[in-house]
Structure 1
């Protein structure tokens, strides 16, 4: 089967085609501009691909309620032109096929559960820490939406005792995204994250905030795998720091051999690498065919 996949990010779109086995056969990427010109490029890419279904993992917030009159819309994003935009409806005009539609991080979580680091498990939590912070949740064999969808990047965080930074989130100031996203690193330390040396104090502080969020996810959701992706997590030294801080935070409370002695195989990078979002969108498309 030929399935279309779209990883729709706030910075760039990645479009691809693949099959129900998770194999991407071709892909293209381009910057996220205003919706009309961006989706014109999307349509141009797919128009000769003869796709049988489409999966979309989109930046948000988005409307995931099929009963809602704005199902398929991007809703309250500050991204210019995209607020209250009918993303899914625009594509349906050109491609009358089954669609899988979800957040970009839920798509990544789904891809990891199907073919990545959480393959064979019925639950995982996927954090992306980059330009923003997002959370995808796969629990008991299905993606979690709830009232709207998870927005774990905006949970309040316990402040590091040596941190006086006020945070950059325009809605919440010092939430997880406001304190730990890539732009927060740059605003706090006055250089881009990749320019900071490995032993810089920034990384211990970054790990403190991410570990706090991961600890909360473990206590609330008890996932069988925690996957940390996104540009900030390209700093490989963060994984050890985060695992150590999570172990300290839990303090032996949760009686699990994995949490006590095997965090190195529990808190991990994406098995699908930087293609987790695109392959996850492919999984959404394949699932839409299965449900049909």
Structure 2
């Protein structure tokens, strides 16, 4: 049976909203959005919806869960399948895989939401054919998934690209909003950080606001570090902050090129525009990430 014939269930579990779906291959048959409330309320509502779809559409062969994190991905550890050190109240050490595994008994593919999105982009989107690809989301937080030869990178934990430190502009003393690190990339360039720095809702900050000089500079620091450490052929930037600000990517390309300073042969601002770009699947990268994890389960 090829992927297009396989019926699977998927869950994109976010910090503010969750999406449950049924898909045949990559084609989504049905989906529903839920607010992310308490674990019992949220997981129960999702499970009930999938149960109803099972009666309507047939028995899925697997479930994919793409979750906000951090999450436990080492099957040898007791926290496998759990959301671990999240600051979201009530969600620390919640056994997401255990809940759905016990309820349905299907194989479960489990990873971070950003790793799922990266996998979907590798299979169907803008990262097709790339041996190394990164999906970075910039929204309420900043997270990143890394795909190498078609598989999400895991190790001691999973990549936490939003929590790397970046060099800051001279004279910038903004303390950052990350509750763990203060002025890591997430603490400086996430949606809440931009709002705090600007003193207004981030959506109201115009593209010509001086703040973007700092933010694009910090993102360029991260892009240069990723280029030099992981050597990706594609870095896809999703999430709400850049979703409607694609013009700012040109600044990121130029500033990343300046930081690389010719060291990566043949890679300047023009070439970086073909490396650092918007996701090919747009807002569907997240839900299709859950589908990709299910198909691989």
36-45 or 234-243, which deviates more: 234-243
For residues 112-144 of structure 1, the C-alpha deviation after alignment (integer angstroms, 9 at most, x for no partner) is 100011012222011100000001000133210
Distance 2:127 2:118 in 1: 8
Counterparts in 2 of 1:97 and 1:196: CA distance versus 1, 3 Å: same
TM-score, with length taken from structure 2: 0.93
Task: Tell me by how many angstroms 1:260 deviates.
Answer: 5.8
Q: Report the more deviating stretch, 31-40 or 234-243.
A: 234-243
Secondary structure class of the residue paired with 1:265? coil
Distance of 1:69 and 1:198 partners within structure 2: 46
Q: Which structure 1 segments of 5+ residues have no match?
A: none
1:252 corresponds in structure 2 to 262
Q: Which residue does 1:147 correspond to in 2?
A: 156
Aligned-partner Cα distance in 2 for 1:25–1:271: 21
What do the CA deviations read for 1:73-127 (whole angstroms, capped 9, x no partner)? Answer: 1111111111011111011121111111001111111011000110122220111
2:285 maps to which residue? Answer: 276
Normalising to structure 1: TM-score of the pair?
0.95
Distance 2:259 2:171 in 1: 17
The answer on whether the counterparts of 2:22 and 2:29 sit within 8 Å (CA) in structure 1 is yes
2:98 to 71, 89, 93: 89
Distance 2:288 2:171 in 1: 40
Corresponding position of 2:18: 13
Counterpart selection for 1:29 from 33, 40, 49: 33
**Which of the residues 41, 44, 48 maps onto 2:48?**
44
Q: Secondary structure at the match of 1:198?
A: coil
Aligned positions of 1:52-91 closer than 5 A: 52-91=61-100
SS in 1 for 2:83: coil
- The answer as to whether partners of 2:137 and 2:237 remain within 8 angstroms in 1 is yes
Q: Which residue of 1 aligns with 2:3?
A: none
Q: Cα–Cα, structure 1 residues 23 and 148, in superposed 2: closer, same or farther, change >3 Å?
A: same
State the 1:161 CA deviation: 2.1
Stretches of structure 2 lacking an aligned partner (at least 5 in a row): 1-5
Counterpart CA distance in 2 for 1:89 and 1:196 is 42
* Counterpart-to-counterpart distance in 2, 1:181 and 1:100: 28
CA offset digits 1:205-259 (Å, max 9, x no partner): 211111111111110000110100001112222211111111111111011x354
Give the corresponding residue for 1:129.
Answer: 138
Cα distance in 2 between the residues matched to 1:19 and 1:193: 37
